[in-house]
Every structure is written in C-alpha cells, then in structure tokens.
Amino acid sequence: MNFSPATVAAMSDDALLDLVQRATLSYFWDYGHPVSGMARERDNDAFGYSPDDTVTTGGTGFGIMALIAGAERSFLVREDVIERIARIVGFLETADRFHGVFPHFLNGETGKVIPFGEKDDGGDLVETSFLVAGLLTARQWLIPARPDVAARIDRLWREVEWSHHLRADGALLWHWSPVHGFAMNHAITGWNECLITHVLAAAAPTHRVPISTYHQSWAKGRDFLNGRNYGGVTLPLGPDYGGPLFFAHYSFMGLDPRGLSDTYANYVAQNTAHALINRAHCLTNPGGFSGYGPDCWGLTASDTFDGYNAHSATNDTGVITPTAALASFPYVPREAMEALRGFLTAMDGRLFGPRGFVDAFSPGRNWVASSHLAIDQGPIVVMIENHRSALLWTLFMSAPEVLAGLSRLGFSSPHLDKVAVA
C-alpha cells in the first residue's frame, strides 16, 4: 500500500488509527493458526526462527485483546470473534502445561511444547502471564454473552501454579522444565516487562505467592530504581535511558497505568518518561543514523538486518521498530501520531501492507523487514485502542482478582476507589 504525503496529510487522525488497527488485526484474524486459532509467532522465517505451526502463548494473549478491540469497533464480527476465542480456549485446555503454566511456544496443531531453548522446554511464567491477561480480559468481555466460555477461562486461570515457581529465597522464577527443573534459575526481577507477572501471581485465587516476593525480589532488581534525569525528563524506574520500549507496553495492555501508583512509581509517569526519553534519543541521534527524526523514532525489541535484537538508547543499531512509537499512543499521542504519519510514507511506502506495518526497518541500510511478529503487532492494536477508548484497560481492571492483587501489593488506582476490595 503506497500513500503519498498529500494523501496522508489529508486523512484525519481517526481515519489513520482505523486504517492501522484494521490492517494490523489481520495478523491475528486472517493469519491465526487454522487449527488452534492461536497467534502464530511470526509470518516470516527468513532467520530460521520457526515453522508455520509455531504459535506463541504470550502473543496470543495480546491477540485476544486485539480481537476484542476489533469486534468492538466492528472491524470484525462479534460472534465470529467469540467463536475464535472459544476455539483458542478449547485448544489450551488440552495443550501441554506444566503445573498449569504454558510454554513459550506450542505446536498449533498438536498442542505439544516447542522448546524455546535447550533447557527452556517447559513452563514459561512470563509468557503465561501475558496469555492469562488476555484471557481474563476475554472472560470479563464474555460473561454477559457466553458465561460458559468465561467459566472455562476461569478454570485455566485457577490452574496456573504461580507458587510452584517460587525459589527458596522468595524469588519468582521464569522457567521450569520437566527435564531440567529450575536449572535456568532466571529470577523475574525488575524493572522490565514483567510487572504483570507479579501482579497476577499475587492476584491468583489459587496458588498465590506472598507479597514479599514483589517487594523483596522484583523491586530489588539491579535495574529497578532509577530516578536520574535525561534531558529534562526524570525516569523513576529502569535501566539507563529506560531500556527497550516494550517495557512500557507488555504489562500495560491490561493494567491501566492512569493513576496507578505504589511506593516505587506512578506508572503513567514512568511510561511517559520512558517514551519521551526513547524519542529524544532518536532526535538527538548520537549514532548519526540516517532517517531518524520526529516522524521516525522508536527503539524496542524486533527483527533486524542480522537477526533479533532488543534495541534501546544504549543498544541503537539504526533500526526503527514501528510498534515502539505506535504502542506508546497512550503516553505520547501527539508524538506517536507524527511517527504514524511518517511511517506511512517512509522507505518509498514499503512499510505498510495488508498485515499492518512491517516489524522493523533501517533507513541507513535501506533495509525493510519482511516479517511481522505477534508480540509487536498485538501492542499496536491494543495500545491504540486503550488510547482511543480505554477498552482493554476497563475490561481487565474489572476483574475482581486483579484489583485484589493490586490492593495486596499496596497499589493505588482509581479502579480500586470504585469498589471494596477484600
């Protein structure tokens, strides 16, 4: 799809957001696995990452939220979306689980685990938390129309054994393998994309973890507290310059950051600062990369010209990833819209197609990815929708267990003010 600058300039913001959401949804709707309905991990294996039957659990959680947004905007037929979610739930009920925890990748036809790495052939607690966040959002959406499917989702949620991943010192561990046990020994400590994992682990109606895990492990992470000033913007949490921008997106697909705070940070302030610092780095452009500017910014994890890389201000290789700016609409709407308009005409119009924007591009190398990734496409649809209507935030935050978990951990939120939390 080629857009001239004049065409883009003539389109309203709402028309452009409709265009991007509708096209990006195609990744999950038209390209969803034909058997399981799950989100395929990617639509291009130029780097030999995965075959077409590889589906992603976390990316499916994002995709479920995206499909709900599509139904609510009438981009998709509501009844069809409900049936797709029911198919996904049915697949998950019989797919490989390990103490209720799903692996990173599954075979979308057989439901068998596809190892993510040599010792990563079992439960992945972080990817499971992304999936569960999407499922809980769907549960809340489905309660009036399909209480039967909502009840099945509830069972999947209750069967996740978060406490099985507790280490003796109270840390929550990312991986468990039926062959290697906890050999990877990767503690989920902050700051990164895993706030949602800790919230759900504390919120779980069964197999809950103690609140000390959040305060004595997650919040004691090496890159948790920051407080430094970057070009006039103070960053409360995270590594130098914030790290890749997906830190501001993945946990906040469902968690509403507006007014959300605890003893460590105000989370809309955290995420807004991160987006502004990431953008400012691209405008300052200390690496002198071609193409960077107000309409071409955004560094996060994505494909690149030589594989996959977690791009950030401290790891900048000249690769711009559209999801970085576009999933930041709730935090920096004006700056994100400027990037959206720029992406439509950049690189001779090669960035936008039937499944939305390509995963990444490098103007200086004249390189454009041939791929789309579930974990990058999902946040575009979902965070644009949260910017427009707060739909996914409203649904997820209506789950009473989520509110109870936030309350236990010491959070404050306008959502908590509306209800009495046990």
Q: Which secondary-structure segment (H or E) carries 234?
A: strand 233-237
Contact 405, 421 (CB under 8 A): no
Contact 343, 322 (CB under 8 A): yes
Q: Note the pTM of the prediction, 2 decimals.
A: 0.97
Using CB atoms within 10 Å of the CB of residue 318, give its burial: 0 to 12 exposed, 13 to 18 middle, 19+ buried: buried
Tens of pLDDT, residues 112-137: 999 999 999 999 999 999 999 999 99
Question: At 59, is the secondary structure helix, strand, or coil?
Answer: helix
pLDDT for 51: 66
> Pairing between strand 113-114 and 105-107?
antiparallel
Q: Which secondary-structure segment (H or E) carries 387?
A: helix 374-389
pLDDT for 420: 59
Helices (H) and strands (E) in the chain, counts: 15, 13
pLDDT for 45: 66
Cis bond upstream, residue 367 (ω within 30)? no
Tens of pLDDT, residues 389-398: 999 999 999 9
pLDDT for 141: 98
d(CA 66, CA 68): 5
Residue indicated by tokens 């130098």 = 240
pLDDT for 253: 98
Tens of pLDDT, residues 155-176: 999 999 999 999 999 999 999 9
d(CA 343, CA 295): 7
Per-residue pLDDT of the chain (422 residues; tens, 9 = 90+): 778 999 999 999 999 999 999 999 999 999 999 999 999 999 986 666 666 899 999 999 999 999 999 999 999 999 999 999 999 999 999 999 999 999 999 999 999 999 999 999 999 999 999 999 999 999 999 999 999 999 999 999 999 999 999 999 999 999 999 999 999 999 999 999 999 999 999 999 999 999 999 999 999 999 999 999 999 999 999 999 999 999 999 999 999 999 999 999 999 999 999 999 999 999 999 999 999 999 999 999 999 999 999 999 999 999 999 999 999 999 999 999 999 999 999 999 999 999 999 999 999 999 999 999 999 999 999 999 999 999 999 999 999 999 999 999 999 999 998 775 55
pLDDT for 418: 78
Tens of pLDDT, residues 47-76: 666 668 999 999 999 999 999 999 999 999
**Cα–Cα–Cα angle for 217, 221, 222, rounded to 5 degrees:** 150
